[in-house]
Structure formats: C-alpha cells, structure tokens
Amino acid sequence: MNTITNIFAQARNAGTQPISFEIFPPKGELSMESARSMAEELAKLDPSFISVTYSAGGSGNKQATAEIAAMIQDDFSVPTIAHLTCAGASEESIAAAVSDMKGRGIRNVLALRGDLPEGYKPGDFKLAKDLIPRLTEAGFCVGAAAYPEGHIDCDSMRLNVEHLKQKEDAGAEFFVSQLFFDNEYFYRFREQAEAAGITKPITAGIMPFMSKAQISRMVFMCGASLPSPIIKLLARYENDPASLRQAGIEYACRQLTDLQEHGVDGLHVYTMNNPEIARAAMCALKVALVR
C-alpha cells in the first residue's frame, strides 16, 4: 500500500492533486459494520486516501482508529492514515499504539497533540513535534496538522509557521490543514510557509457547515473566521435546516474548486461520516477538471 509521500509525488508528476476524505469512529460502542458500509461508499469515489481520526477530545474507542484504517486498506485497497494523539500519553501507551498499528499493516500516521482527556495528566509528549520522531523511527510515513489561521492556543502567525517548520524538521512528510471558510487565509498561509522554507506538501482541509450549532461549535473549537457570505446564509436559512445544509455543501464545493484552480498541494474533505458530502465534493471537482 502506498505511502502518502508517494501519493503526493505521483500526483505532482501527473499534474494533479490528491483528493482525500476524513472519517471518525462512531462514538460509544464501535460498529464495524457501519464503518465498513461507510468506507465502501467512500471507496467507490476512488479517493487518494482516507484518514481516520480519534474520537473528539481523545474520548471513545481509540483502538477503533487503527482497526478501521486497516479495514479500509485491506478490504477496499484505499491507502489510509491513522491519527494518533499524544496529549496525556506515556512512552508505554505510544509504544503499544505503534505496535498495534504496525501489526495491522498501517504505514501512514498523522501525529497530533490532541486535547488532554478529562482526568488525565500531561504525559511524556508535550507537542506533536515530540511524537513525530518516535513514529518516523518506527518506520511510518508521518504527517502533521497545519493551521491556516493559527492554532487556537497561538496568537502569533509567525510562531504558528515556526511550529510548522519544527514539525517538518522533526520528520513530518506532509501536512493536513485545519478547516477554514475563507480560502484567502490558506493562500496567505501557503506563502508564509514557503517563505519559511517549508517544502513538504500542505493539503487543504474543507468541512461544509451543516447547521448553525455545528458552525458555532467549530468556530469556538478551531478559531476559524466566518466570512460575510456564510453569515448571510446562516441568517437567510435560520429556520430552514434542509436549505442551510444544502447551502453549506455548495459553499464547501465552491471552496474546493477554487483551491483546485489555485494549484494547492491537495484537497482533504472532512466528511463527518456522510458519504453525501464526499460525493458532492468529487462531483464538483470533476466538473472543475473539465472546464
């Protein structure tokens, strides 16, 4: 199964961009059958890869991440990335996670700090950059997160870009960006990263807004800015959830096609476990390709 590094290189040589999806394990008791059904629908769209997250806030069945990632690549021949967070983790728990992923044949890992789970104390790894060398030494192709508007805990864009460079220097081979709703932030961030000497590919992460509550939660969790067109859509469809949902998908598709036209390194769709979102994104990008 291809490493993500090879996927980006092959796409660059072909003059294209990797298009990928993200899914997350179901909360509570894991239903591998529902995960398999969702993975089957996504695999039909022929993505470059699929990433599988931990549950939000580090809760839930973490082993399900590796289990689902392995299932996707084994059963549907789609390369996968297993997320791994290190907040509150010990050397022993990371060693166990590494052993589990290697045993399942996983080759690609996204190293993240994550949120400290409730009741946990800080562990042996403070930041993602501390986890990256441990994973590269284990033989994984390692990626990390990028923050086009800066991490919510970091007020300085200069420091934000420095942190990205530190991740690259630690061994990160690719980056996946946090969601954003204004492409101009990503383009400025890309310029800053290039000026700082960052050479690894940065794939742009896009999540459609599906409800007022969801977008409010995302803004406060991630610090993403809300552009005027979205505020107007929220006001227009405040009492029409179905139309707001459709407007959110269409807005995300316009973001994706604009990013594609601007030659970004890759496009990553946060599907929220909804194949409908993935299908809409691929349809929009195929239309863009034939213009």
Rounded distance, CA 22 to CA 184, Å?
Answer: 23
Q: Is the dihedral of CA 117, 122, 128, 130 positive or negative?
A: negative
Q: Which two tokens stand for residue 35?
A: 């995960």
191 is catalytic: no
Whole-number Cα distances in Å, 42 to 55, 64, 89, 259, 273? 19, 18, 31, 21, 9
Residue type, 224: A
Nearest of 21, 38, 71 to residue 280 by alpha carbon: 21
Packing angle of the helix pair 275-289, 32-43 (nearest 10 deg):
10
**What whole-number distance in Å separates Cα of residue 189 and Cα of residue 194?**
9
String of DSSP letters for 192-240: HHHHTT--S-EEEEE-----HHHHHHHHHHH-----HHHHHHHHHTTT-
Q: Which of 22, 67, 149, 168 is catalytic?
A: 22
- Tell how far CA 60 is from the center of its chain: 18
Of 94, 162, 179, 80, which is closest to residue 132 (Cα–Cα)? 94
Q: How many Å apart are CA 47 and CA 61, to the nearest integer? A: 25
- Kindly list the catalytic residues: 22
